[in-house]
Amino acid sequence: KNEVEQSPQNLTAQEGEFITINCSYSVGISALHWLQQHPGGGIVSLFMLSSGKKKHGRLIATINIQEKHSSLHITASHPRDSAVYICAVAEETSGSRLTFGEGTQLTVNP
Amino acid sequence: GAVVSQHPSRVICKSGTSVKIECRSLDFQATTMFWYRQFPKQSLMLMATSNEGSKATYEQGVEKDKFLINHASLTLSTLTVTSAHPEDSSFYICSGAAKGYGYTFGSGTRLTVV
């Protein structure tokens, strides 16, 4: 069992739909990150969370430390949101090292 | 904001040759640089962690003599794939970390060994 699990693995949506990607982890963490990887491979850091909720534009990330669960929401999805979304955690005991989920491939169709 | 510039973005090399990949942190000083490898449809796999001025710490199963990492300054880290073989073909990506800056990823290097 992976320490970081994401669901779903693949997600196809129509433009305008509300999207949720989930991440569960089994270790104590100091922070959780949501990353976006585009087809070319480059990775962009979307959020770093240690508690509560953060919002940036159409993206919202929440975390529940007690339940060891985080969600990434995309409102009014657009084809340009198509990418792989990766959840990564910084474990309490491993310093700054990140443990990654397998990623969620999101495709938004026009 | 913080940027990590990674070069080259793509490289094709002959089997047996060496390839150097550079990551430069711009507008911040990366005290730690992480080097990852990613196979198609898989997540990132940490290869090694390097701190400026000290030897890199390699993950289990990663050959330190094959994947040479140098982190000579707070703004430059390099990964050299020595005597490359086709099985080394992969996507390599670096990530710089510094207090107050979180993690900043490079744009990646797609290595093809023929």
Residue B31 host element (H or E): none
Residue A103 sits at the chain B interface (C-beta within 8 Å):
yes
The pLDDT value given to residue A26: 93
Dihedral sign for Cα atoms in the order B19, A100, A93, A56: positive
Two tokens at A91?
A: 């474990």
User: Tens digits of per-residue pLDDT, A83-102?
Assistant: 999 999 988 877 678 899 99
Q: B94: buried, middle or exposed (CB in 10 Å: 19+, 13-18, 0-12)?
A: buried
Q: What's chain B's Rg over C-alpha atoms?
A: 13
Owner of token pair 């507008």: B27
- Mutate: best of B6, B21, B37, B44, partner A, most A CBs <10 A: B44
Q: Which residues of B touch A48 (CB under 8 A)?
A: 102-103
Q: Which residues of B touch A44 (CB under 8 A)?
A: 105
**Most confident stretch, B9-23, B33-47, B50-64, B89-103:** B9-23
Is the CB of residue A97 less than 8 Å from the CB of residue A4? Answer: no
3-state SS assignment for residue B76: strand
The pLDDT value given to residue A96: 75
User: Tens digits of per-residue pLDDT, A19-77?
Assistant: 999 999 998 898 999 999 988 888 999 999 999 999 999 999 999 999 999 999 999 99
